Amino acid sequence: MASSKAEKSIAPIVLGSLALFLLGVIGTVTLPFYDSSMQKPNANAELRHYAPNTPEARGRALYIREGCHVCHTQFVRPVKADSNLGPVSAAGDYFYDAPPLLGTVRTGADLMWVGKRWNKEWLIRNLKNPREMLPGSNMPRYDYLTDQELSDLAAYLMSLRPAPQAEGR
Amino acid sequence: MQPSVENTYRVVRFMFLSSIVWLLIGMTFGLILALKYVWPEFLAFGPLQKYLQYGRIRPIHTNLVLLGWLTMAYLGAMFYIIPALTKTPLQYPRLAMIGGILWNVFLIVGAVVLMNGMTDVIEYAEFPYFLDIVAVILMGVIATICFATIVRRREKKLYVSLWYFMGSLLWLPLLWIVGNLPPSWIPGVPRFNMAWFYGHNVIGLWFTTVGVGIIYYLLPKLANNPLYSHRLSLIGFWTIAAFYVWNGPHHIQNGPVPAWLMKSGVIPSVLMIIPVWTVVANFFGTMKGKWHVAATNIPLRFLLTGVIFYLITCLQGPFQSLMGPSSVIKFTNWVIGHAHLPLFGAFSFVCFAAIYTILPKITGRPLNSTALMNAHFWLSVGGFLLFASSMWTAGLIQGFAWMSGKQYGPAFVEVLVALRPYTMARALGGALMVIGQFLFAYNVIRSLAPARQATHPTASTA
């Protein structure tokens, strides 16, 4: 194999690299778009389908601006570690979620169904001073947000709840 | 600027210096994050409370160390190694310099934009859309420069490092496009899946493959032995090209995706054992009879440690991608420890070895201080081991605590409080790592300073 003709030409490397890459893209990126289970909204998705400039839509933009998704997932799995968090997430739940906020780390608790857990007043007080509501919490204080912004953010969080039909799924 | 050895070295020097500045800034952000994890009120006053808020600066840390430090160090190394292996000076050196300057501008704008809360959420590529387009153009320019140099080569045989570089230079812009440029109206889980195609493959088909290419260049040089097996290195190349690209879906393990997609992500993850083993076997084969050199040759010691960390990465990674282990450690600090293993433990160490090896070649004089280099090594290794082991332990504690039902509210916070000793150890380990990098930067700058004066007359006539 040493110093064969093939090793003096860049064409096999370039073409081989591109072909293998393309195969992976088709398999893991393109094909999921043809899987029907990922392409249908459900009742939960409709609850999370906000009209522009509603408090919930503004709250979602704030959730992204402040990087809430960096520390909080919205992602309930059928595993024991998620057993108290509410209904298991389905692809349909996220149908209108753009950009999707499933998250990758739980520095804080999962927020998929947080609207079922607390009320708006509690959420706003927790955002302003997390250590008042949950001593020992390491969440930043969001007391630099205006009252309007806090109210929008809390409205968004309160909308994160299962649709009545989906409960106990 | 005409293609010449002198101009090649100018570009290499600029890339290395830029990368080290980003290393210091990026890791300092990381240390701030580690301290905020323990003391949430750290730096939370005045305007800093808002602009250095945890959720805003975490992406700044990841983007600066990935796209600033590692990527620019890789460019410096490739701009040296490609001309060396092809016996041809770097083509379009002026364009390379402009590309490097613009890449720095891109990173500065990106960091400022993220600090102001403009993010497009995709992990490791949170920079907004207009910067994503700038990045693709610059990646295309850099790939063109490298390919032009390889096409005009005087040495016909393509050494295996060049295979890895060529593959990586094609994959990086393509995977960036898949992850970053789909229009924002593509929502939901398929979009999340595309984001993880990017997030995983930028590690696998850029940071890993360029790093392996650098290992294959440095190893025979530092060990002063011929490469153990050329054929093994080629098997490694084709298996990594075939398997890595399929790994993305394992990030949605146990998630809302069909089982076939999960499996198509997990099986290739396990097969990743093959390419990593080709690197390790080649390393051990090449080191045969030369192990004593690692006692005195610090760049070789960095390279050796990097390869061992790379092996641990690729044993840990497939394990984590399996359904069972994932159900315990996913979302915990374990994953933070794992993510630092390839990026700091393996490939930053490869870059340290590369910079320490290449600098004396371009300045024509030995490095400023061996003692500082040694201190850099031990602070990096010791700090990282403390950092990573505390994160892995903390992750297991979190995972099992969540399984016992402590999933939100006061019970969740109880777990956070229990983690404090480990998160403090993480911050301490991180501080040692950061101190080591400041020593590294000082040593490099002192090594370059006299050389700059010496080469100045020739550089100005070039």
Closest chain A CA to residue B326: A79
Q: How many other CB atoms sit within 10 Å of the CB of residue B109?
A: 15
**Burial readout B419-438 (b: 16 or more C-beta within 10 A, e: otherwise):** beebbbbbbebbbbbbbbbb
Task: Compute CA B434 distance to the chain's CA centroid, rounded to the nearest angstrom.
Answer: 16
The interaxial angle of helices B298-321 and B273-287, nearest 10 deg, is 160
Q: pLDDT tens digit string along A9-53?
A: 899 999 999 999 999 999 999 998 898 888 889 999 999 999 999
Answer whether A81 sits within 8 Å of B413, measured CB to CB.
no
Q: How many other CB atoms sit within 10 Å of the CB of residue B42?
A: 17
Smallest Cα distance from B355 to chain A, Å: 27
Task: Compute CA B90 distance to the chain's CA centroid, rounded to the nearest angstrom.
Answer: 24
- Could you report the predicted ipTM of this complex, rounded to two decimals? 0.92
Answer whether B327 sits within 8 Å of A75, measured CB to CB.
no
Distance CA(B291)–CA(B349), nearest Å, equals 18
Q: Look up residue B364 and give its DSSP letter.
A: S
Distance CA(B211)–CA(B363), nearest Å, equals 23
Q: pLDDT tens digit string along B78-109?
A: 999 999 999 999 999 999 999 999 999 999 99
Answer whether B407 sits within 8 Å of A144, measured CB to CB.
no
Q: Three-class SS of residue B85?
A: helix
Q: Which of B234, B407, B414, B419 to mutate to test the interface with A (most CBs of A within 10 A)?
A: B407
Q: Cβ neighbours of residue B449 under 8 Å, at least 6 residues apart?
A: none
pLDDT band at residue B458 using 50, 70 and 90 as cut-offs: very low
Query: How far does chain B reach from its first CA to its final CA, in angstroms?
Result: 7
pLDDT band at residue B4 using 50, 70 and 90 as cut-offs: very high
Range in A18-22, B185-189, B211-215, B366-370 with the lowest mean pLDDT: B185-189
Number of A/B CB contacts below 8 angstroms equals 239
Distance CA(A109)–CA(A126), nearest Å, equals 13
Residue range B32-58: mean pLDDT, rounded: 96
Distance CA(A81)–CA(A103), nearest Å, equals 16
Q: Which residue has the tokens 């602009």?
A: B51
Whole-number pLDDT of residue A5: 55
Q: Percentage of chain B surpassing pLDDT 70?
A: 97
Nearest to B446 by CA among B10, B17, B14: B17
Answer whether B192 sits within 8 Å of A94, measured CB to CB.
yes
Distance CA(B187)–CA(A97), nearest Å, equals 5
Answer whether A14 sits within 8 Å of B170, measured CB to CB.
yes
Largest CA distance in chain A: 73
pLDDT band at residue A8 using 50, 70 and 90 as cut-offs: confident
Q: What distances in angstroms separate CA B288 from CA B310, B402, B438, one per listed residue? A: 19, 47, 34
Instruction: Using an 8 Å CB-CB cutoff, list chain B residues near A77.
Output: 254-255, 327, 330
B194 and A CB contact within 8 Å: yes
Closest chain A CA to residue B167: A17
